[in-house]
Amino acid sequence: MAKPNESDHGGGRGRKVRVDFRPNRQERRRQKTLPPHLAEQADEIDELASPSWETVAAKGELSRKRTVVEGEEPATEGTAEGIVAAVRGLIADVEGPGGERCACTVRRVLRTLRIGERHPVVVGDRVRFRPAAVRGGSPPEGVIESVLPRRTRLCRATERETHLIAANVDQVVVVASADAPPLKPSLIDRYLVSASAGMMAAVVCVNKMDLDVDGYAAEVLERYRRIGYPVVGTSTVSGLGIDALRGMLAGKSSVLAGQSGVGKSSLLNAIQPGLKLRVGEVCKETAKGRHTTTTAQLLKLEAGGYVVDTPGVRAFELAMIPVSELEAHFVEFVKHVPGCKFANCTHTHEIGCAVLGAVERGEIHPARHASYVRLFRERSGLVPMGEEVEEEHERR
């Protein structure tokens, strides 16, 4: 697959070549059989569903050859690559290669293709868009023509469905507080599992370290550091760890996740004054019209990179993780699993379980194992799901 070129403005410098049409390609191009009402648009949908960046200039079954643009230049003429910085209803603000923002609509067929998804594009999506000619004084407008494959997915589960809330997030900063609200390592574990399942890296941040009178928070941080997570203790009151956290965010796309009241907004403002204030303004505006929900947006960091700001991240969940895969998301369990006596060991009670053995020898922290068992039982339907995050429902 040709790698999209970031600096490409769609000048079409690529060389057009004729290549043989591969009949079996038809099979692979889209996953599902299209419903009858989409039959007319099948070619266009195939093109959009194709993971490749080839520009199919000659469409249709009858064409024996396809014209593709070869090499570094996959662009359709007049389009540019950008990143979705905010979504407001059916309008997406796309940040172009030069950092300029362009209010884009989504090409009709792309909306149809992604019907059933709440939004055809989400914050963090890398898209190819066609800016319209800018008229004097009016804000630039454009059309999103295609969405690049999503590298990572940040999801939020409701009772029935899972919603994608952001794409291509590099890391989840799991934020807890030393106190007020009290520190719950089991909640940190939930977020770590979710991050891992969404293919995102994770950082453990314990804020309000000024309230860590008995050293428990420092001990918890050490626990996560030992199993390989980057950790940071912060205080927006004393300034502890703010520089370190800023460094961890630089050049990446991150999301801060954690219970309300732990200090996520305060941390963002400590890292970059004014960063989060803008969000407050937006929320006030949209509060008037109940129908306009600001789903999420990217906040640009001075040191490079973004923070994905989303109202729905607190309860981002592990709804889609099969119970058999849970062990894979507990990083320190992984090396022990092959030592279990039974291949289908659940590591909850079995004789000859190497994970339980490691817990007994003090190599795995009992609290981490307890978190695993709790999630395992939830996933198996033995106990109700999400007890601890349920109380975290959105304040909207």
Amino acid identity, residue 383? V
Q: Kindly state the tokens that stand for 285.
A: 């505006």
Q: How far is the CB of 240 from ligand GDP (least distance, A)?
A: 8
Under rule CB under 6 A, residue 311 binds ligand GDP: no
Both ends of the chain: CA-CA distance in Å? 42
Give, to the nearest 10 degrees, the angle between helix 185-197 and helix 366-379. 60
Provide the Cα torsion 257, 258, 264, 265; round to 10°: 80
Under rule CB under 6 A, residue 210 binds ligand GDP: yes
Under rule CB under 6 A, residue 233 binds ligand GDP: no
User: Considering CB distances under 5 to 8 angstroms, the limit depending on partner class, which of ligand GDP, Zn ion, none binds residue 345?
Assistant: Zn ion
User: Considering CB distances under 5 to 8 angstroms, the limit depending on partner class, which of ligand GDP, Zn ion, none binds residue 235?
Assistant: ligand GDP
At 21, phi and psi to the nearest 5?
Answer: -80, 125
User: Considering CB distances under 5 to 8 angstroms, the limit depending on partner class, which of Zn ion, ligand GDP, none binds residue 265?
Assistant: ligand GDP
Under rule CB under 6 A, residue 55 binds ligand GDP: no
Q: Are 205 and 338 in contact (CB under 8 A)?
A: no
Provide the Cα torsion 210, 229, 357, 352; round to 10°: 140
Considering only 5-13, 75-83, 149-157, 205-213, which stretch makes contact with ligand GDP by CB under 6 A?
205-213
Tell me which residues in 241-260 interact with ligand GDP (CB under 6 A): 260
Under rule CB under 5 A, residue 107 binds Zn ion: no
Q: What is the DSSP string of 104-136?
A: EEE-HHHHHHTTTSS-SS-BT-EEEEEEPPPPT
Tell me which residues in 173-202 interact with ligand GDP (CB under 6 A): none
At 59, phi and psi to the nearest 5?
Answer: -100, 165
Under rule CB under 5 A, residue 206 binds Zn ion: no
At 294, is the secondary structure helix, strand, or coil? strand
Question: Nearer to Zn ion by C-beta: 110 or 353?
Answer: 353
Q: How far is the CB of 231 from ligand GDP (least distance, A)?
A: 16
Q: How far apart are CA 69 and CA 57, in angstroms?
A: 9
CB atoms within 10 A of CB 137: 5
Tell me which residues in 106-145 interact with ligand GDP (CB under 6 A): none
Tell me which residues in 247-286 interact with Zn ion (CB under 5 A): none
Question: How many residues at the interface with Zn ion, by CB under 5 A?
Answer: 5
Q: How far apart are CA 256 and CA 228, in angstroms?
A: 19
Among 79, 152, 196, 207, contact with ligand GDP (rule: CB under 6 A): 207
Tell me which residues in 307-366 interact with Zn ion (CB under 5 A): 340, 345, 347, 353, 355
Among 193, 206, 262, 354, contact with ligand GDP (rule: CB under 6 A): 262
Beta bridge partners, 177, equal: 207
Under rule CB under 6 A, residue 266 binds ligand GDP: yes
Q: How far is the CB of 326 from Zn ion (least distance, A)?
A: 12
Amino acid identity, residue 34? L
Q: How far is the CB of 168 from Zn ion (least distance, A)?
A: 35
Among positive and negative, which fits the CA dihedral 167, 379, 325, 391? positive
Q: How far apart are CA 119 and CA 211, in angstroms?
A: 41
Among 38, 132, 201, 211, contact with ligand GDP (rule: CB under 6 A): 211
Under rule CB under 6 A, residue 261 binds ligand GDP: yes
At 187, phi and psi to the nearest 5?
Answer: -70, -40
Question: Nearer to ligand GDP by C-beta: 45 or 192?
Answer: 192
Q: Which residues of this protein are in contact with ligand GDP, per CB under 6 A?
A: 207-208, 210-211, 235-237, 260-266
Q: Which residues of this protein are in contact with Zn ion, per CB under 5 A?
A: 340, 345, 347, 353, 355
